[in-house]
Amino acid sequence: MENEIVKIPKGVVIFREGEEGNFMYLILKGKVKILRKGQEIATLGKGDFFGDLGLLTGLPRIADAISEEDCELILVDESSFDKIIKSDPTLSIRILRKLAHRLREMYSLMDRMEKEETSLEVENEPLPPGVKAWFELEKEGEIFPIEQKITFIGRKDLTSSFIPHVDLSPYDKNRYISRRHARVIFRNGKFYIKEEVGVLNGTFLDDRRIKPGFLYDLEDGTRVTLGRLTLIFHSKIKQAS
């Protein structure tokens, strides 16, 4: 592919969150709006690029891209990207700086979301009467009770004196699990799990990898794999009569 130039009219969806990301785009003319869950997170113009995470990682798109004006875009696939980087090393520096800037913005956004979320639940607030939950370590059979509405899972951090409610340090000799790996949240009569931002080795629910920062339903019997350890979640919720 030789750096194909495409013209996009105003108001066209260039790609949507969840779609396969085989291209990145360089903006020659016009503006492109980037939205996440319907919320605008950036407006890009001439000289900017987008879709680079999909191209570099091969993972699905994480946001929507919509043309805000009539646009001219250069489509860049993996082969073209390699040629551009080799012919113009300064572009790789621009991309690294842009990615670092986006990562910083993402952490700021996650911090704001974290404050909003924790305002809904009080840390160390106990589970309501009639609600019981626990994790069972799949191979060892060790039981970890869940007693609060917010329960952290991870490893002990001696530097900050942080000890998660579910401390897997003794079973994670190779440190595949992050210190603040995930949290279990009880809200509106249901349990959810959320992987913390920055986790390296991922979290899987019944072999399905979850995205950091999002809530996922946690049902009785769900297998939760963190690093190389698997926990089985158990819960009993007594319905009010």
- Please name the fold of domain 5-118: Jelly Rolls (2.60.120)
- Please name the fold of domain 131-237: Tumour Suppressor Smad4 (2.60.200)
Name which of 8, 2, 48, 7 is nearest 25 in CA terms. 48
Distance CA 115, CA 111 (A): 6
Contact call for residues 81 and 61 (beta carbons, < 8 A): no
First-to-last C-alpha distance (Å) of the chain: 66
Tell me the pLDDT of the chain (241 aa) as tens digits. 456 889 999 999 999 888 887 788 999 999 999 988 778 888 999 988 888 877 777 777 888 999 999 999 998 888 877 777 777 777 677 777 777 776 666 656 655 655 555 544 455 789 999 999 999 999 888 999 999 999 999 998 877 778 899 999 999 988 899 989 999 999 989 999 999 877 888 899 998 999 888 889 999 999 999 988 999 999 998 865 5
pTM of the predicted structure, to 2 decimals: 0.55
Q: Per-domain residue ranges for the chain?
A: 5-118, 131-237
* Torsion 60-175-184-220 (CA) sign: positive
